[in-house]
């Protein structure tokens, strides 16, 4: 197993991206190679957020050009924008972890219902493993396309999973 991985983060100045940078800066086996921001390209991350890391922010287009410098790209882009970015990064052979909702749902109709628009690459939905490791640990081993679960679904799924495994839940569960 490889000891150190190089990561790129697309969309590093939004809430999710900034939190991910913070987490990865303290990770013993990941090094942040580059980060992108469309609105703050040319600045340092420390110019945008009160952080101690002077990491240059580059445009997403440069991230695509530098995909060969990383082992994994984390997409922290708005819902709907990760689809095209995922397609472009996947074409380079890099592992993609999407933190938006673009690959969490396997059903394009459910995506349309929840996000109010058509999924532009429904054929890709089955290529992504839902990244809830407590449930999909084996499928995640060696996966190169991962849909990171959201915080609310994670809390609900982890709470209900033992009941579902025991057969105590019906076909549909509504959590509101």
Say what the pLDDT of residue 174 is. Answer: 86
* 76 classed as catalytic: no
Q: What is the pLDDT of residues 7-31, one digit of tens each?
A: 999 999 999 999 999 999 999 999 9
Q: Are 114 and 105 in contact, with CB atoms under 8 Å apart?
A: yes
Is the pLDDT at 175 greater than 60? The verdict is: yes
Any alpha helices (H) in 26-94, and if so which ranges?
45-48, 60-65, 82-92
The reported pTM is 0.92
Q: To 10 degrees, what angle do helices 151-165 and 133-140 make?
A: 90
Is the pLDDT at 1 greater than 60? The verdict is: no
What CA–CA distance (Å, rounded) separates 53 from 62?
A: 20
Would you place residue 64 in the very low, low, confident or very high pLDDT band (cuts 50, 70, 90)? very high
Tell me how far CA of residue 84 lies from CA of 38, 61, 96, 169, in angstroms: 15, 12, 12, 36
Is the pLDDT at 61 greater than 80? The verdict is: yes
Would you place residue 159 in the very low, low, confident or very high pLDDT band (cuts 50, 70, 90)? very high
Q: For 104-111, what is the mean pLDDT?
A: 94
Token representation of residue 76: 């922290």
Q: For 43-58, what is the mean pLDDT?
A: 94
Q: List the catalytic residue out of 151, 166, 170, 176.
A: 151
Say what the pLDDT of residue 2 is. Answer: 64
């Amino acid at each position: 197993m490889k000891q150190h991985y190089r990561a790129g983060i697309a969309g590093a100045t939004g809430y999710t991206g900034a939190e991910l940078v913070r987490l990865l800066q303290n990770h013993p086996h990941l090094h942040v190679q580059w980060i992108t921001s469309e609105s703050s390209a040319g600045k340092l991350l420390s110019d945008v957020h009160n952080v101690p890391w002077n990491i240059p922010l580059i445009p997403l287009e440069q991230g695509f050009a530098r995909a060969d410098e990383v082992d994994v790209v984390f997409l922290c882009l708005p819902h709907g924008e990760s689809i095209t970015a995922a397609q472009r990064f996947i074409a380079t052979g890099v592992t993609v972890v999407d933190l938006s909702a673009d690959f969490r749902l396997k059903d394009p109709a459910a995506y349309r219902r929840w996000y109010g628009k058509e999924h532009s690459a429904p054929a890709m939905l089955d290529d992504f493993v839902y990244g809830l490791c407590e449930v999909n640990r084996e499928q995640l081993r060696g996966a190169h396309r991962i849909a990171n679960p959201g915080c609310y679904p994670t809390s609900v799924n982890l709470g209900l999973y033992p009941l579902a495994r025991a057969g105590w839940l019906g076909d549909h569960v509504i959590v509101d």
